[in-house]
Amino acid sequence: MSPLTSPAASSNALAVPDPTELALKRLQESMRTLIVDNYDSYTYNLLHLWFKRPHLPDARPLDDRVILIRNDQYPWEIVRDRILPFVDNIIISPGPGTPEIASDFGVCANILREVRDKPIFGVCLGHQGIAHIFGGKVVKARAAVHGQLSPVKYKHGFKTVSEANTVVGKEGTLFEGIPENLRVVRYHSLVADPESLAGIDDLLITAYAVGTVRVRDPTTGQFHNEATTEIMALQHRTLPIYGVQFHPESICTEYGRQLMTNFHRLTAEYLTANGLVERRPAGIPSDVLAMSALASTSIASPAASGAPELRLVTAKLPALECNPADLTLFLFEWLYGDDQMGFMLDSAKLGDLNSTYSIMGSGLSAGSVTVRYRLADNRAQILAFDPSGYAPAGVERRVVHEEKLHPDTLKPGTTFWDWMQTVVNQTQADDQIQLFDLGRAGWLEDYRYVDELPFAFRGGWVGHFTYEMKAESLPMYSTQSRPHGSSGDGVHPANNSGGDASAELPDVNLIFADRSIVVRYLPDASGAEVYIQALVRSSTFDSSEAPQWFGHIADTSDTTMEWLGSTARSISQALVEFAHGGAKRADNSDNGAASNTQAVIDEIADPVSALSYAEYIAAVEQSQKWIREGESYEVCLTTQFRVDLTNPLKAGSPLAAASNGPLTAEIRDPATMRKLYRSLRRFNPAPYAAYFWFGDIGGGIAGSSPERFLRVTTNLNIKSMDSELIDTDEAIWNEHQSIPTETKGRRWVEMKPIKGTVRRPKIPSPCPHGTMLSPVCDHCEARVKAADKQLANELYHDVKERAENLMIVDLIRNDLTTFCGPNTVCVPHLMAIETYAHVHQMVTTVCGELRDEVGGLKALDRCFPPGSMTGAPKLRTVQLLEYLETERRKGEEEEKRVPYPRGIYSGCIGYISAHGGQADWSVVIRTVVVDHHGKRLSAGAGGALTILSDPHKEWEEVLVKFGSVYPGIKSYIAERIAEQF
Ligand SMILES: C=C(O[C@@H]1C=C(C(=O)O)C=C[C@H]1O)C(=O)O
Ligand SMILES: NC(=O)CC[C@H](N)C(=O)O
């Protein structure tokens, strides 16, 4: 892959400074721009392009020259009178819907109708708006195209050739310096109708798409390549108004920066030619800047008051040669197996780039508190140790602090996310780590001070956020009008928990792990080191300054040293036991159970899907209808599979008749929860496996996610796991050149969206020609390996999968740009194929540098919910999903369907460390959630779909994904049933 050198960088280099050129350059540097956001997920990418212009010196503060507002944020008069006088030009963003519907386009219509003295650049919806406002029609394109690339010709397609020659490809046009056939990314269903433009003299068509796009015929399901000749750009004959149908801000569009540069150059020339330069105000006043969405979304939560109160003490045992994933599970069971609030973030998949260490602990250590939050009543609670012990056995926790929040996503400081960020800020450790190097026997002897560990977790907050927390992270989620009438009789999914809210797990559960164990895997996974970690309160801790609940946090050093010592000795003993085959014994007991459970497997009732097969197909078709109408570009549709653990067998199963009492697989205690977890882990080891048991609620999580959501790190290492199976072709993307080389000491966010999954073929063992000694013959092995390679390659080159991946990558770049430093968001690995035990997946890495004032939790908030679980544009698509993911309301007739919560599925699980805001969160997929007091188990599954999707294949994809967790569930149930005979 060779870096693409942008022509923009050189074409503006001036050999001899000419005074007019200098003046223009200066104007371009100081350009002030209004960007109007039509609720698109790519708007901030336009901002990114704005920042990336070669005319902008990096070092200058930039936010003072862009105002970004949503299309309905202010009445038109306010925009006209208070904002417009201070800007030089206007950019109108893409967006869902059509400019012909007033609520989809908001003040953009007024701008196009009334503004005559400022250059305007309309992108996609903005471009269609230009056609609409000047009298043309916006109609369905011949083919809806989302995430595909088309070459563009801009010297063709004029109303007349002579007209074309006078305007295009010459200096002073939008396309100046851009060669023909540039490849551009398209996300649109609608277009400006060429026929309707024929009679409109004011509008010139300046570019067409050529080549072919991939199209699916919905009636036959057949794919073909269709020639595309849609309008790709428009320009007003006399006014400085320009539109492009494609997305210059997409990572895969060529010359996006040049287009933006050209627009600003055109603006500068326009201002100069019309004598407007002298009349420019000196700058944008701060009260006007404060009206910008950039001002509110970038607001950081207040920093911690005073110095950090906590210090990490850690004891490290000597490295042990072993299978580190086995050791992790063994240690967890040894230390926390029966714990009523045990947790583990478990790197269960060896050989995965992201499986480098595991964390375990309990919410019941004396100095640990738990934060809980439920959207149903907006109460944020802090639970701590309660010596009176009224809670269920072994879970002596009580609420020591409670706050009722009044969340408003537009008011900084009011949502749970903001509240929690302040809590996180108050529970920070200092830079020094007191490290004990232990001998094999685990005696605490000498210590030294260090400032780094080979992993990011230094104690801190561990837990989950449900998907429904989107209500407090998506700006305007609750107030933005729903596109198609009201959703499910106004029932919010989070409030539809079937009546018994306590049966569901809370929307947020975060355990402050003052004590934890980290199993660090040696680089080649040949062994592990165990660290025992504890956060202690500093001796100078002044309780009068801290919130009252802080008094429950962490222990004093005396009790901590005692714990460290006893845990070190216990672990040393565990390691001896482990080395002598303890892990094997535990495993064998599992397998023993598995052998007599085989007979039970066939008797297990099928899980019930919230959306039946027919409903899922209908929902895919409805999504595609909306996509065709321009409402969405990509929809991540999901369903939820549920298993009734009180009655897990098929109706009339002979097993039930043969047993003395009712057969159940209920999960009432950590011991059964562990059985489920072990079983899941055996069938589907994953880099982001997770275990939680909530003893007081009677619920838990057994996760095996392969997908990282977001990591905040001061130690970014841009390595990829590019599969050897792939014959990569030369990939070109426009941010290629800005990949950071020096990242040390800076805080980076890294996201790794997965889109595109195929199941790998299995090598049959034994194969038909196998012998006792070699059950698989060379021929069969080679054949399956070749098929495997071919599948990976097909995935890599698949137009549909690439389009889906691209859409999410652009969406994530947008999310990161809302809180990362200008010019820092980049894509080091675009569409790499990663190979797992059962599947190949297409994974992209997107990074950005956190702005100084942004907290680690704020980053999560701004990106939530994960774009790979929503589709794009995020807000509109999330709203549409609430019409699709519905179920019949209990006891009511069929038509009354209401949205059900996705719950923890589609949310995130992970940690935020007590130091530096470092964090690692996974996307919750391939995860089993136990709730309803241990009586029910559920697992969501779904996939992103576009206009190219085959509804039946989408359902098959759901089954493939559910299929990665279902064998584990089944085996668990069978084992439990077998125990009861
Ligand atoms: C929706 C799921 O997965 C998401 C969708 C994927 C896809 O569309 O290919 C892949 C991984 C996840 O981002 C799921 O596993 O249930
Ligand atoms: N990306 C966009 O702005 C899309 C515009 C419009 N909703 C369409 O689908 O054509």
Q: From ligand 1's centre to the CA of 923, what distance in Å?
A: 9
Ligand lying nearest the CA atom of residue 186:
2
How many C-beta atoms surround the C-beta of residue 774 within 10 A? 12
Model pLDDT, residue 654: 87
The reply to whether 19-297 and 310-708+843-979 are identical in fold is no
In this structure, the chain runs to a length of 981
Residue numbers in the chain where pLDDT is lower than 50: 1-12, 59, 156-162, 164-166, 168-171, 298-302, 307, 484-489, 592, 720-721, 729-737
β-bridge partners, 910? 463, 921
CB of 706 closer than 6 A to ligand 1?
no
Q: Enumerate the H helices of 19-147 as residue ranges.
A: 19-29, 43-52, 76-78, 102-105, 107-114, 125-133
Model pLDDT, residue 739: 63
CB of 944 closer than 6 A to ligand 1?
yes
pTM of the model: 0.91
Q: From ligand 1's centre to the CA of 17, what distance in Å?
A: 54
915 is catalytic: no
β-strands 527-537, 310-316: how paired? antiparallel
Pocket test for ligand 1, best of 684, 846, 869 (most atoms within 8 A of CB): 869
Pocket test for ligand 1, best of 609, 633, 635, 636 (most atoms within 8 A of CB): 636
d(CA 584, CA 577): 11
Give the 3-state secondary structure of residue 942: strand
CB of 640 closer than 6 A to ligand 1?
no
Residue with the two structure tokens 């309780």: 543
Tens-place pLDDT, residues 49-104: 888 777 665 545 556 889 999 999 999 999 999 999 999 999 999 999 999 999 99
863 is catalytic: no
Ligand lying nearest the CA atom of residue 867:
1
Nearest to 881 by CA among 613, 503, 505, 610: 610
Q: From ligand 1's centre to the CA of 869, what distance in Å?
A: 7
d(CA 711, CA 342): 23
d(CA 800, CA 145): 10
d(CA 813, CA 824): 10
Give residue 677's identity as a one-letter amino acid code: Y
Model pLDDT, residue 598: 77
CB of 188 closer than 6 A to ligand 2?
yes
Are the C-beta atoms of residues 288 and 86 closer than 8 Å to each other? yes
d(CA 921, CA 351): 19
Model pLDDT, residue 169: 46
Residue with the two structure tokens 């072990």: 678
CA angle 772, 776, 780 (to 5 degrees): 150
Q: From ligand 2's centre to the CA of 37, what distance in Å?
A: 13
H/E/C letters for each residue in 353-366?
Answer: CCCCEEEEEECCCC
Does domain 19-297 bear CATH number 3.40.50.880?
yes
Active-site option among 48, 146, 247, 932: 247
Give the 3-state secondary structure of residue 63: helix
d(CA 439, CA 12): 64
CB of 707 closer than 6 A to ligand 1?
yes
Model pLDDT, residue 393: 63
d(CA 476, CA 296): 13
Pocket test for ligand 1, best of 798, 902, 961 (most atoms within 8 A of CB): 961
Q: What are phi and psi of 471, to 5 degrees?
A: -60, -25
β-bridge partners, 555? 536
Give the 3-state secondary structure of residue 324: helix
Does domain 310-708+843-979 bear CATH number 3.60.120.10?
yes
CB of 636 closer than 6 A to ligand 1?
yes
Are the C-beta atoms of residues 637 and 619 closer than 8 Å to each other? yes
Ligand lying nearest the CA atom of residue 94:
2
Give residue 941's identity as a one-letter amino acid code: A
CB of 941 closer than 6 A to ligand 1?
yes
552 is catalytic: no
Domain boundaries, the chain: 19-297, 310-708+843-979
CB of 925 closer than 6 A to ligand 1?
yes
Nearest to 273 by CA among 119, 444, 479, 108: 119
Q: From ligand 2's centre to the CA of 566, what distance in Å?
A: 62
d(CA 785, CA 799): 23
Specify the residue with its C-alpha closest to ligand 2, atom 4. 188
Tokens of residue 79, six digits: 């925009």
Ligand lying nearest the CA atom of residue 639:
1
Tokens of residue 17, six digits: 């400074």
CB of 516 closer than 6 A to ligand 1?
no
Active-site option among 124, 252, 820, 826: 124
Specify the residue with its C-alpha closest to ligand 2, atom 6. 630
**End-to-end Cα separation, the chain, in angstroms:** 62
Ligand lying nearest the CA atom of residue 808:
1
Q: From ligand 1's centre to the CA of 870, what distance in Å?
A: 10
Model pLDDT, residue 667: 96
Pocket test for ligand 1, best of 757, 878, 881, 924 (most atoms within 8 A of CB): 757
